[in-house]
Structure 1
Amino acid sequence: MKTRTFLTLILLLMRQSFSLCRPQCHICEQTMWNCSRQNLREVPVAPSVLITELDLSFNRLETIMKDDFLAYGGLRSLILTRNKIKTIHELAFDPLIDLEKLDLSLNQLNTLCSRWFKNLCSLQYLNLLGNNYKTLGQGNLFQPLKKLKTLYFGGLYLRSVRKGDFSGLRGLEELFIDGKKLQDYAQGSLRQIGPISQVTLGLNGPFMMNLTLVEVLLSDVVHPNTTLTFTDTWFFSVYQMLPFKVVYTGGTTGLAFKNVNITISAGAALLHHLSDSSVTMLTVEDTNFQLRSLDPVMSVPDMDHLQSVVVKNVNVPQFYSFPALLVMHPLLKVARRFTVLNSKFFALPCQSSALFSKPEYIDISGNILSDFALSEMMCYGKGVLWNLQTINVSRNHLLSINSQLFTKLNKLENIDMSGNAFHSMPETCNWPLSLRFLNLSSAHLTRVTSCLPQSLRILDLSNNDFTVFNIELPFLRELYISGNKIGSLPDGGLYPRLVSLSIRNNNLQTFSDNNLNDYNNLKSLEAAYNTYVCSCDFVAFMTSDLTKHRVRIRDDLKSYICDSPDTARGQSVADVSLSVFECHKVLSSSLLCSGILAVFLLIAGLCHKFSVVWYMRMTWTWLRAKRKPKLKEGELEYDAFVSYSEMDSGWVEAHLVPELEQSEPPLRLCLHKRDFVPGGWIVDNIMDAIERSHKTLFILSQHFVRSEWCKYELDYTHFRLFEQNDDRVVLILLEPIDKKAIPKKFCKLRRVMNSRTYLEWPGDDDQIARFWQSLRTAIERPVTDDGSLIDFTGNLII
């Protein structure tokens, strides 16, 4: 172990010295370096990280040098297939002491050297197919490969296999020999390896010209534990089937034919040789059946030992020209498992089906079976294939679900009808009571009905077009409904025994712990790739420890993608981070509404306190009044508008009004009690009275500064009449008022008292007459010598 580690370090240090003139490869995925199809002519420079897999296939390498793999000491897999390699230095692979897989196929190697493999003690897979060598080297080629399990060799140029070519091999499990032109085989060469599980032989030339060689080779590989496969071979005569008598004597149980051409007579002859053999499994794949006019039609014996027949990708170009069923009949009569895949199978008469009593498994998927042909094959439900347990008719041309065909089959447990174009499902169906598994996936179904059998344990309805699934199935354990348009989890109460549910790629928006608790026995859930609304509850549920919910989310949490809200769209549920507002929408909305209501109440309170509404209406009224033409002095109706507090009305009515209106000359006063228009808005009355009065008289007192309406009258008068600095305001102070004690809302009163003189109601009776004289002087409009009035601007008033 220490020696190996030291050698690896030395190789890594030497890497830099070989990097100056060598090409580079730039497709590296973790420990795998994919340099395929890059037109390389040399082994590229090793990357800076230690890699275990190197793919150099489909390049233009011609020579492998001694030091090409010095820096690749950690390799476990080396693929060199499809190059033009002609020579390999005998020490080229020495650094690859951990190599487990080596593929040198489809190159131009003329000779094989045993020295290549001296240090490859870990090698388990070796492919030497498709090169130019005629023999397997000078002998003992595979001697060092003690762990080799898979060996592929041969090609168009292989001519001879000698007895010592396989010395040293003991644990081989798979062998592939391409000997289409093999001329010499030493008896016993392969027998020394021991029983091999899988042996594939391509012996087209020997089957044509040297049947003795074929028989000798087969005698070395046949064994009860060996599956024997023949490939790339023409079987066109009865004579070619003679070597298969060795299969009978050797006890081989598995026989397969892949990519072969065989005539009907040769096939019948093969079955004759196998009639008493131990073969239990017969596979025919990628094969053409041919009819030659000179071939005799042979009867086919019964093969009671046969258990399984697999026919896959088989072409019968002259199906109607020869009795193909003659070969099939004895197989179907005895085989318990029968498979015909993708072979354009379209008919089996009822008379033939009636003869088959042993088949337990029939797979005829991927063919062109119609509804009529299936009905004919099942004898229209009258009862055939009594031992049938599984039937697969998927991917055919069926258009209707005809359960009546299977009703009498009391052993039938599994039916696969997927991949057909049913579109609709009958309302009710009669299925055998034994049915446990039903597959109706990819059948274009738009609605699910009670046609589904109550006895089902497993149901697959994936990749259809229905939106709701609510059929009660009391015994169902596994349900697959992915790829539909379902918007919510099915009602768990309908499936009390359900253990596994797959509902991927639907229109599912959310689910919760409550939904899963409806399923009494659910253990596994797959629900990725839906249109999820990633609410806070859903995200918290998905990212919590789901083991406490008894249900295991089997698909990757990264595949649960949010469709909304917009801030999380396209993100994985595991990566979503939602705000407090998104997580508590009701509470947040309540708080927001409460805040807005509080602001509105505050604004309303302030508006009420500071009479904002009144001022707005007053401003609007003032704007309207401002647009009216100003009254001339002769058009004024009153000498003075009196603004006073209701508490001072006694003084006004007892002193002011008699003194000014009943004296000579009398003055006309505007009093709100007497002269305001009934029913009109008070602001309109105030403004109208001030506009039609020569002067505005304010009766100031403690009551006045506590009166809201007096404030409004003062505000408007100051706002409307003092904008041009005229003297149309007269102030009367009934009692002493400290200017500092005047409320802040009467700021205009303080401003007026600071800028205007005012009359004080005298406390001495001797001063009262002078007071009234001064007041009349302030109120009276001036007159000319001829008795005409003039306004305060000096203009003559007619």
Structure 2
Amino acid sequence: MASLTYQLLSVTLALCAVHLISGYSFRNCIEDPYPYGQSFKCILRKESNLSAVIGDLPQTAVNLTITINPVWHIPSMSFVNVTNLEYLRLDHNYLRKIDPFAFQNLTRLKSLNVSSNNISQLNPYVFKDLHNLTYLSLTNNSLKQLPVGIFSTLLNLDTLIMRQNFLTNFSGIAESVSHLPKLRVLDLCFNNLTNLKHSNASLPKSLTTLYICRNNLLTLGCHQSFLGFIQLLDLSYNPRLPTMAFQGVDLSHINYLRLRSTSVKVVEFLNISNVNAGSVDFSGMGLKNDTLLTELCTSLKGKVKSIKRMGLSNNGIKNLTNYALQYCPTITGSLDLSRNNLKSTGCFKFLDKHTQIKSLNAEHNHITSLQSCKTENMVYLNHLEELSYRYNRILSVNAYAFSHTPNIKTLKLNINTISFLHRKALKGLKSLEMLRLDNNLLTDLFNDTFEDNVNLQTLNLRNNRIAVIFNGTFLSLRNLTTLDLGGNKITHFEQSGLDGLTSLSKFYLDGNNLKEIDTSLYRVFQDTLTVLDLKSNQIYFLHKVTSSPFMNLSKLSDLKLDGQRPHGLSVLPQNFFRGLHSLKSLYLANNNIYYLAPDAFDDLTNLTFLSLESCCVGVAQLQPGIFKNLRNLNILSMENMGIQTFSKEVFGNLTKLHKLQLNRNVMQSIHFEILDSLPELHYLDIRNTPLSCTCKNHLLQNWTLHNRRVQVVYLYNMKCPDDNQHNFYNFKTNVCYIDLGEYLFLSTAIVIFLFTVTPLLYVKLYWKMKYNYYVFRSWFSDQWRRLREQEENCKYDAFISYNTSDEQWVIEQLMPNLEGNGSSFKLCLHHRDFELGRDIVDNIVSAVYSSRKTICVVSRNFLTSEWCSLEIQLASYRLFDEHRDVLLLVFLEPISERQLSSYHRMRKVMLKKTYLQWPGSDCTNPTQAQELFWNQLRRAMRTGSRFETEQNCSEGREKEGRTEHVDARTSDENYYLLP
């Protein structure tokens, strides 16, 4: 109980640890792409803990394969997280212990394979919950006996395989399966059974197939009716099993019985047994000469009139005379003469009494030649449809070798050493549908070799030594659909070499010496060809091709061009695949391509599979848009291409991509947004890619761990390239982490604040900020100190700020009245006193602070001037900030309040300072008014006290000035030029 509690706790902890990670990747398994979430393979992993292997699999798993792993123990309740399993493979591991209730809750399981392990014993309750199990394999373990009741709950079991164990007690086996009402197949081959003795148990009536081959049976020892329902019984390779073991045993239902390599004497057996003689396979029963065969045939003839299947293989027969099978019942079905020592079959004259035969197997003999059979007194096997001479030593096939079998449909001459095939060897075979001549030494085919084979559909000539296809070779094969010429030495086709193949659908030319793609391909196969295999030829390109060799292959769906020898395709020309609108699969792997044209795949709009593994030289520079038309692509394999960057410009259009293999490339980072933009992506393999464990991949790491759509193959085994002690999925990202929500909130708040405050600051503080900037710049250049010194010992009495349009008034009126006529004022005028070569703003700042007063000559033009505005701004700052009476306003012309409303800085000055209005010529007494104007201006310049004047033009006296608030906003226009 404590042990069970510990195991449950271990499983729970493992599951909890796994569920901390919520992504779609699995630690030790790979999910098959189709159907999603149902089939998983956990192969060649280094994990010995089963819970760690499958703990992160989803509940939807239906098919699970766990093979070639160091798993040695299956604890109880190991599969609680995958209770929907229907097919489970646990073969080829190191299993030696399976706990009770190991398969608990797997009530839907139909197939369980635990073969090729080290299991020596099983708990009686190990299969307790497998009520729907139909297939169970315990092959190749170390079982010596079965516990009582081990299969008691497997009421739906159909097939039970326990071969290659050490079982010795057949009675226990019979007891364990006796109650299985649906058991149909029981395989006990390769055990240590010595007999079939049993207690009161009987085999289930449903059992029809029983294999007990390769045991140590000395007798059967079973009850008379024990095998009464068996239809197929294999007792072969029990060398000490005697004939008398069958006496009294009911074999009446047997329709196939194998007794190969036993001590059973066939004739004696037939005499003492109630087996149907036509159901016995006589292979391997020592019938090596005519005498023994004649004896067998005589015995058979007394029991049956005809035999459907006559098995005589593995008997050591060297020769069959014309009388060897003369006394046998008529053979109406098949005759198996394979694995004997026959050197010739003649022209089948030994079958003159068996012309109804339909199938003849003469494989694995020592036949060296097929002779001509166009002679008188020929035995014609007009019903023969299948003839096989595979695995012989045939060197030559002579003319009319098959004229006595004119109606065969399948002829197998493959895996011989045929170097000579006579032009007329296949003459007369007008019904032939499949011909296999592969794996021979043929060098030439002639225009009349196949002239009679008008109904041939499949022709296999693979792995011969054919170099050239001559004109008219296939001219008669108008019904041929499959032609395999792979593995030859073909360098070219003559002009009419492929003529006649008007129905060809599948054409295999891989492993030849073709240096170019023959134009006859698209001339002959315009509307028929669906598969074209050109793998491992010598095709290469060094420049563009003028037209596509596939232009007219409108139905081609599968094209293989991978592995061109010795250096690959080199260049994939533009328009190379033009016209292949129906192509579904394209193989270009291992081709050392150094240039992929950007429009190479433009015509392949229906492509679903593209293989580019190791196709390029060094680093692959994929052009943007190279896959732009592959919107139906489902699988893209780009393993070991040297890809450095994974960009949206290259991969962005693959909207139906399901499976992407990028393993063994050189990318150091991948933008997860690109992967996220592939809506159908479900399988991503980036193993053995040096993704750096740095901040540039922290978003990718987060995506791989939390996406619920894309399986990243073996994510948790990916190591950091610069530190094999750490994994990519958990490298530290603390320094990279940014709270995106907080970041967006702060960014939004700051942007909104700036959009709100900036206009206000612009309106209120623009000039003050500009002024402070220039003051700071002056201070930084030691200008500020000099300005202060000049202020204490002012160089000028007044700085005159005016617009150039008012320059005439300044020169003709202002200067004579303030610097002449007895006045001693010294004025600063920009056209006269500004320092040449100096920055204008520095000159203005220096003028303001080097003068006791600043006189602003205000006109409409003055108001629109940016630089005049700057001058009055500087003077007003000095006025307001330093409380010095430094600013005088002189209005040259009347300006309405509406016009001044935009200049709040001037209006603010006018609220604190009285201004002077220049009396124009329209006054009643302009001379007197102007004299009064100049006296008041001079008095204002001499003093710092406040005064108020008002110029009344009609009365010739100064009128009280209006105070109007002026906006500080200024125009960027009307900047005056220095002379």
**Partner SS for 2:140:** coil
User: In the alignment, is residue 121 of structure 1 matched against residue 242 of structure 2?
Assistant: no
Superposed CA deviations along residues 108-130 of structure 1, whole A, max 9, x for unmatched, are: 22222477873522223221212
Tell me the alpha carbon deviations over residues 493-523 of structure 1, each in whole angstroms, 9 at most, x when there is no partner.
Answer: x89xxxx754255699999xx989x9xxxxx
Answer whether contact 1:342 1:367 (CA < 8 A) is retained.
yes
- Tell me what 1:419 maps to: 486
After TM superposition, give the deviation of residue 406 of structure 1 in Å: 0.7
Q: Report what 1:201 is aligned to.
A: 282
Alignment of 1:141-220 (within 5 A): 141-142=225-226, 144-145=228-229, 148-154=230-236, 155-160=238-243, 162=246, 164-169=248-253, 172=255, 174-183=256-265, 185-187=268-270, 193=276, 196=279, 200-207=281-288, 211=293, 214-215=296-297, 219=301
Count how many residue pairs are aligned between Structure 1 and Structure 2. Answer: 671
Offset, 1:348: 0.9
Relative to 1, partners in 2 of residues 1:399 and 1:221: Cα closer, same or farther, differing over 3 Å? farther
Q: 1:692 to 1:412 in 2, by over 3 A?
A: same
- Report how far residue 200 of structure 1 moved: 3.8
Matched with 2:111 is: 32
1: CA distance between counterparts of 2:820 and 2:197?
148
8 Å contact 2:120–2:141 — kept in the other structure? Answer: yes
Partners of 2:879 and 2:887 within 8 A in 1: no
1:225-374 residue pairs with structure 2 within 5 A? 226-236=308-318, 244-247=325-328, 249-258=329-338, 260-264=339-343, 267-268=344-345, 271-278=348-355, 279-288=357-366, 302-305=378-381, 306-314=384-392, 316=393, 325=396, 330-331=401-402, 334=405, 336-337=408-409, 339-340=411-412, 342-348=414-420, 352-354=422-424, 356-360=426-430, 361=432, 363-370=435-442, 373-374=443-444
Q: Is the 8 A contact 2:364 2:391 kept in 1?
A: yes
Q: Given residue 326 of structure 2, which amino acid in structure 1 is its aligned partner?
A: K
Counterpart mapping for 1:523-672 below 5 A: 527-529=608-610, 561=660, 567=673, 569=675, 574-575=680-681, 623=777, 627=781, 630=786, 638-644=796-802, 656-672=814-830
- Work out the CA distance in 2 between the residues paired with 1:540 and 1:471: 20
1:386 maps to 451
CA distance in structure 2 between the partners assigned to 1:304 and 1:570 by the alignment: 70
- Residues 1:94 and 2:169 are matched in the alignment: no
Q: In 2, distance between residues paired with 1:30 and 1:533?
A: 48
Residue 648 to residue 46, structure 1, CA distance change in 2 (3 Å):
same
Residue 793 of structure 1 corresponds to none
Equivalent of residue 406 in structure 1, options 466, 473, 478: 473
Q: For 1:593-649, what per-residue CA distance to the aligned partner results, in whole angstroms no more than 9, with x for missing partners?
A: xxxxxx9xx99x989997989998995798379627647759987543212467877
C-alpha contact 2:364 2:390 (8 A) present in aligned 1 = yes
Summarize deviations over 1:407-463 as a string: whole Å, max 9, x none: 554667356233225686558434343542151342466753321253663453135
Rate the CA distance shift 1:443–1:252 in 2: closer, same or farther, 3 A: same
TM-score by length of structure 2 reads: 0.55
Q: Please tell me whether residue 731 in structure 1 is matched to residue 813 in structure 2.
A: no
The 1-side partners of 2:98 and 2:838 are apart by 106
What displacement does 1:562 show? 8.8
Q: How far apart are the structure 2 equivalents of 1:399 and 1:565?
A: 52
Distance 1:354 1:341, change over 3 A: closer
Greater helix share, structure number: 1
Q: 2:817 touches 2:934 (CA, 8 Å); kept in 1?
A: no
Give the whole-Å Cα distance in 2 for the aligned partners of 1:261 and 1:120.
38
| Inter-CA distance 180–328: structure 2 relative to 1 (3 Å threshold) | farther
Structure 1 spans left out of the alignment, 5+ residues: 1-14, 292-298, 519-524, 544-556, 578-598, 780-798
How many Å apart are 1:400 and its aligned residue? Answer: 3.9
Structure 1 vs Structure 2 CA RMSD: 5.8
1:773 aligns to what SS in structure 2? helix
Counterpart Cα distance in 2 of 1:570 and 1:561: 13
2:842 is the counterpart of 1:775: no
2:166 is the counterpart of 1:84: yes
Q: Secondary structure at the match of 2:186?
A: strand
Asked which structure has the greater CA Rg, the reply is 1
- Following superposition, the deviation at residue 164 of structure 1 comes to 4.7
Structure 1 position 193, deviation (Å): 4.0
Query: In the superposition, relative to structure 1, how do residues 707 and 407 fare at CA in structure 2: closer, same or farther (>3 Å)?
Result: closer
Matched residue SS, 1:102? strand
1:223–1:133 Cα change, 3 Å:
farther
Give the 3 Å change call, closer, same or farther, for CA 337–621 of structure 1 in structure 2.
Answer: farther
SS at match of 2:855: strand
Q: Does the Cα contact within 8 Å between 2:401 and 2:426 map onto a contact in 1?
A: no
Instruction: Report the CA distance between 1:100 and its aligned residue.
Output: 1.9
Q: Deviations over 1:128-169 (max 9, x none)?
A: 212222444445345552xx5533223222211646534451
**Pair 1:327–1:24, CA change in 2 (3 A):** farther
- Kindly indicate whether the alpha-carbon contact (under 8 Å) linking 1:33 and 1:55 is maintained by their aligned counterparts in 2: yes
Listed as ranges, the matches of 1:501-540 within 5 Å are 502-505=584-587, 527-529=608-610
CA contact (8 A) 1:159 1:181 kept: yes
Partner of 1:111: 195
- Cα distance, 1:68–1:357 mapped onto 2, change above 3 Å: same
Instruction: Name the amino acid aligned to 1:282.
Output: L
Alpha-carbon spacing, 1:340–1:642, altered in 2? closer, same or farther (3 Å): same
Which whole-Å CA distance do the structure 1 matches of 2:901 and 2:494 have between them?
A: 89
Structure 2's unaligned 5+ residue stretches are 1-75, 78-96, 370-374, 542-546, 563-571, 590-595, 613-623, 636-655, 663-669, 684-751, 919-928, 946-979
Contact map agreement 1:332 1:359 (CA 8 A) in 2: yes
CA distance in 2, matches of 1:614, 1:454: 88
Determine the C-alpha separation between the residues in 2 that align with 1:42 and 1:661.
127
The alpha carbon displacement at 1:76 in A equals 1.6
Residues 222 and 250, structure 1, Cα contact 8 Å, conserved in 2: no
Residue 46 of structure 1 aligns to a residue whose secondary structure is coil
For the residue of structure 2 that corresponds to 1:165, the secondary structure is coil
The reply on whether 1:464 has 2:535 as its aligned counterpart is yes
Q: Tell me which amino acid in the other structure corresponds to 1:257.
A: L
Instruction: Give the TM-score normalised by structure 1.
Output: 0.66
Closer, same or farther: CA 358–423 of 1 in aligned 2, 3 Å: closer
1:440 to 508, 511, 514: 508
Distance in 2, matches of 1:568 and 1:230, equals: 66
Q: Deviations over 1:237-267 (max 9, x none)?
A: 568x9653345x4233422234x24042xx4
Q: Name the amino acid aligned to 1:448.
A: I
Structure 1 pair 699/359, CA: closer, same or farther in 2 (3 Å)?
A: same
Contact 1:223 1:252 survives alignment (8 Å): no
Distance (Å, rounded) in 2 between the aligned partners of 1:570 and 1:129: 57
| Aligned mates of 1:136, 1:190 — CA distance in 2 | 13
* Shift in CA distance, 331/436, structure 1 to aligned 2, threshold 3 Å: same
